[in-house]
Structure 1
Amino acid sequence: MNNLAQFYTHDNFSKLLLSKILAKNPKRVLEIGVGGGSLVRAAKKKWKHSDIIGGDIDSMNVSTLKEEFPSIKLFVINGLSSHLREDLKLELGSVDVAICNPPYMTIKKSDEYGKILEESLLGCLDSYSQLTSDIIFLAQNLLLLKEGGELGIIVPDGLLTCQRFSIFREKLLSNYKLTGVIELPSKIFKKTEAKTHILIIRKSVCSSLSLPIYLANENGTIASKILVKKSALIYRMDYKYHSWKKNSNQKTSNSLLDLNVDIMRGSRSKKQLESLQINYLHTTDLKNEYCECEFPLHKTIDYLRYAEEGDLLMSRVGKRCIGKLMYVIKGNIPISDCIYRIRIPFEHRAKVISSLNSKIGKEWINAHSHGVCAKVISKRDLLNYQVTY
């Protein structure tokens, strides 16, 4: 990744992406954001006689690839611009195949982006609580594709798993044919543990009731495949979650919401708590295995959130500490905003703790955690956790 929020694609995963595109002899192939050229090289090898067009915001990338591939039309462009088609000298609906590994960053909403979203049938600007560059890149590609054209694009985990992007998933499934979703391993990009997926999209309406979801291994080959009902993909699109759901056959009683469980996270960050020079709990204080701890009875500060006797604590965010559990048997202590404080009515406490700490509970946490780098469990998902017995 560079300061333009670009993650450059590994050759194995470029080949994997192109292997899922069915077009045999596309006349025109486009890549917005050529980066280090991995996708372009794979495309040139697969479609030797196709007209390949590419662009990048980094002029150095464009110059380097021009030297390597003099026959390819390359431009210095901004993939987020509403003038993209003019900059690429292309008409809307004129591209047979598009391939893309866009930058991943939050962008400020604008009327320009709203128009791109609406024209690409991905919803209106007000439907998105947060807008990211990968969504606009995807929309730009869809606008440039002809009817029946195919797009292969690498997207961040959050786009397929976070609740705030459910409108994107709904619009995509309603207006286009999603021919495959491939979950990629973590750590496939240099200097980052970014979690990503490949989407293969055909510019046509899909009548299928089920769609294939794949899992790729570190070598860039498909390790597993499941079919998932199209309607279920609005909630989440990742293989990890749907594989867990398909193989999960445990008996359940009620959700945490049904049991009137109260879930809150700490009110201050680790840095803010450190500045107060007081004892507090952060995710690094929770052990890998479930533990029970006693604390002194501290004088409380109004604006801090405390764990107290009878509370169950859970790491809600982190790279490797997600879902760690601690039970407070005595005293109180402030908690950071990376920890959930779970207050369970006494009559349900034992079975809830036992369920969350069980193998099934840990598998549930793994399946429901999501995020590009650090993983997170949403409060909404946790409240819907079905207590097993």
Structure 2
Amino acid sequence: MEELGQKIRSLRLGKGLSIKKLSTLLKINYTYISHIERGKSIPSEHLLKKIAKKLGADEEELEILSGKIPEDIKKILYEYPIEAPVLIRDALGSYVALKQLSFLKDKEKRLEQFFTPLDIASGMLELIGGNKTNQNARIIDPSCGDGVFLKAAKEKALGFEIFGCDIDSEHINSVKSQIPEGIFIAGNALEALLQQEGSFDFAVGNPPFSAQDNLVTDKYILNNYRLGLGKKRQAVEILFLELFVRLLKRGGKFSIILPEGILSARPHKYVRDWLASNTVIYCIISLPRNTFKKTSSKCVIISGEKLVPEGSNRGNAGSSNFVKYAVFHRGNFSEVVNMVKNKNKNSIKQAELINTEDWRPENLVFIKMRQLCKKPDWACLGELVKLRTGFVKYGKDRIFDSKPKKRSCQLIVAKNFLPVTGLDLDKARNFIDADNSSFSIKAKINNGEILFVRVGVGCCGRVAVFDGDNDAQADDWIHILTPQQGVDPWYITSWMASSYGQRLIKLISHGVGTVSISKSSLGQLLIPRLDKNTEEDIAGIFKAFTKQQIQYGLWVDVLDEIFGKHIKNLAVLVPLPTVKRQHPLQHHQYQSQPSI
């Protein structure tokens, strides 16, 4: 149980008050408050009421913590000395369980705060040198949650002065019990920590993310942040990013987890500009989906150093710095950390990064690949096909027939696609006619056109050639690609279905909650150009595989091998992050296909 002195100290710091300031408000000597907070003195009932009023605390809670039992509770205990303790314990157990359940559900709904795996937390500390002995260095996690970052700091380095803050007092109490020497504040960090600006050597953590309907709207908070000033609302993670940097001394180091959208969304360019103006960015690491339990949100780690006193006019003084970047695909995170800390081949000058619209590591990797994959050996997909997007109505107008009628056409949806490549028209049978409000001439599919699923965590990137006599229309989850004259759709699709093509497709995908690929992004996809006969031979092999409905995992290695044979340095130009599949097509099956 939290002691009275600790509670008062936590409340005082949460209000941003010094001991002397509180003593002035209470009109008592500041040494007496110091004694109370250290447990050497117990305040009178009258003083407790004044403290509760000035600190906005629950008067009865302070009274109980001081050892005084309210009269009505005393009366119950005296009248029912056996039954009352049993009832209180049962009721309290149920109350705590329900409160915790409610708290977790509410938190996930409002703030999308999900706790960080230990290996990620430890790696983030290592990125900024927080794993070494730092005698008297001050480290803070402004949204400490379960305390994983601070516990890792305590275990990996000696001499840290540890500080933490969290809006939930239950988390604070839990972390306090594990790090008793630390200083912890229960309260809204965006308010409670402003008095600590410029006080810390390290700031590390995974702040809460705003749900779309729960942005920060408090004018007092917004007006205290440059990234909130003049705005009616702001995402909590953007304000936390500014707080992390402002809490640091000049040269202090930070490592923070943020939603990917901050690095790529056009409306957030001002956030990237602010970050580049006020920090030296060490590295950016992209995390895979499902890194955090109960969410598939796409996140990134940004690590760096506070450049100048926040707000000073020194421009982009860190522009000569090289920013390292990496994409973590799963496995051992320490390997990525070591790669970034050592001679990582993937880096970009901060001055160049500032002028790059999309800071995601995936995009930076893709830009580098585009520089290496030059014409005439490579072309952008947009040069080879014309792109349009399917169409369908939603809500009450979304009405389909389950069986075809005269002059009706089948609506092709994402569910009709096989994993990676191919179509199964029987998997989802939805039909519309020209009178249906979902019907669109532009979305009708012609034989030989390429269909590409543009959205969805599980299905984005699936691709197929439409090769049937059926009348069909694509819904709005699908891009339709019409090959230019002389371009073989089966060859284009064979590359997109290969491991190399799928790797490039992942690099151009966007999205925090879900994932999507715009027409403009898809148009930038790199396609290798080979001589006409070779492209025709590869197209023939690919078509034979798909027509025979052989499982994709059994022949993709063959496809990769064929491309590797004809494209010089392919493994260097488009490095694959994962090991080869365990079930390659049998050798004799490969031999039976056309040789190239």
Identity across matched positions, percent: 22
Query: Pairwise mapping of residues 87-126 of structure 1 onto structure 2 (< 5 A)?
Result: 87-88=192-193, 90-105=195-210, 106=212, 107-108=214-215, 110=217, 115=223, 118=226
TM-score w.r.t. the length of structure 1 is 0.81
Work out which of the two has the higher radius of gyration on C-alpha atoms and give 1 or 2: 2
| Structure 1 residues 275 and 387: alpha-carbon distance in aligned structure 2, compared to 1, 3 A threshold | same
Query: Is 2:281 the partner of 1:169?
Result: no
Gaps of 5+ in 2: 1-103, 308-316, 403-409, 530-596
| Structure 1 residues 75 and 91: alpha-carbon distance in aligned structure 2, compared to 1, 3 A threshold | closer
| Structure 1 residues 67 and 272: alpha-carbon distance in aligned structure 2, compared to 1, 3 A threshold | farther
Q: Tell me the equivalent position of 1:385.
A: 525
Mapped partners of 1:75, 1:146: distance in 2: 20
Query: Is 2:373 the partner of 1:250?
Result: yes
- SS of the residue 2:466 aligns to: strand
- 1:261 corresponds to which of 386, 397, 407: 386
Q: Tell me the equivalent position of 2:414.
A: 283
**Number of residues of Structure 1 aligned to a counterpart in Structure 2:** 378
CA contact (8 A) 2:115 2:145 kept: yes
CA contact (8 A) 2:411 2:431 kept: no
- 1:214 corresponds to which of 326, 337, 342: 326
Query: Is 2:357 the partner of 1:235?
Result: yes
Mapped partners of 1:272, 1:147: distance in 2: 58
Q: Post-superposition shift, 1:287?
A: 1.5
Query: Is 2:455 the partner of 1:317?
Result: yes
- SS of the residue 1:198 aligns to: strand
286-295 or 13-22, larger mean C-alpha shift: 286-295
Mapped partners of 1:113, 1:312: distance in 2: 51
Mapped partners of 1:137, 1:241: distance in 2: 25
| Structure 1 residues 343 and 168: alpha-carbon distance in aligned structure 2, compared to 1, 3 A threshold | farther
Cα deviation digits, residues 239-289 of structure 1 (max 9, x gap): 4443454456434465455567233253445x7786545553322211224
Cα deviation digits, residues 308-363 of structure 1 (max 9, x gap): 21442211122232211133344444444322233444555646556544554323
Paired amino acid for 2:326 = Y
Q: Post-superposition shift, 1:209?
A: 4.7
- Which structure has the higher relative contact order (CA within 8 Å, separation 6+)? 1
Q: Post-superposition shift, 1:383?
A: 2.8
Mapped partners of 1:113, 1:378: distance in 2: 36
- SS of the residue 1:160 aligns to: helix
| Structure 1 residues 34 and 341: alpha-carbon distance in aligned structure 2, compared to 1, 3 A threshold | same
| Structure 1 residues 293 and 182: alpha-carbon distance in aligned structure 2, compared to 1, 3 A threshold | closer
CA contact (8 A) 1:213 1:239 kept: yes
Paired amino acid for 2:460 = I
Q: Post-superposition shift, 1:238?
A: 3.7
| Structure 1 residues 335 and 355: alpha-carbon distance in aligned structure 2, compared to 1, 3 A threshold | same
Cα deviation digits, residues 75-105 of structure 1 (max 9, x gap): 22224x4xx1xx2373322222111201223
Q: Post-superposition shift, 1:206?
A: 1.1
Q: Tell me the equivalent position of 1:342.
A: 481
Q: Post-superposition shift, 1:18?
A: 0.6
| Structure 1 residues 319 and 298: alpha-carbon distance in aligned structure 2, compared to 1, 3 A threshold | closer
Cα deviation digits, residues 135-169 of structure 1 (max 9, x gap): 22111212222221111111223333444434433
Q: Tell me the equivalent position of 1:139.
A: 242
Gaps of 5+ in 1: none
- The CA RMSD measured in Å over matched residues stands at 3.6
Q: Post-superposition shift, 1:41?
A: 0.6
Q: Which has the higher helix share?
A: 2
Q: Tell me the equivalent position of 2:174.
A: 64
Q: Tell me the equivalent position of 2:466.
A: 328
Mapped partners of 1:151, 1:17: distance in 2: 9
- SS of the residue 2:346 aligns to: strand
TM-score w.r.t. the length of structure 2 is 0.55
- SS of the residue 1:34 aligns to: coil
Paired amino acid for 1:60 = E
Mapped partners of 2:194, 2:215: distance in 1: 27
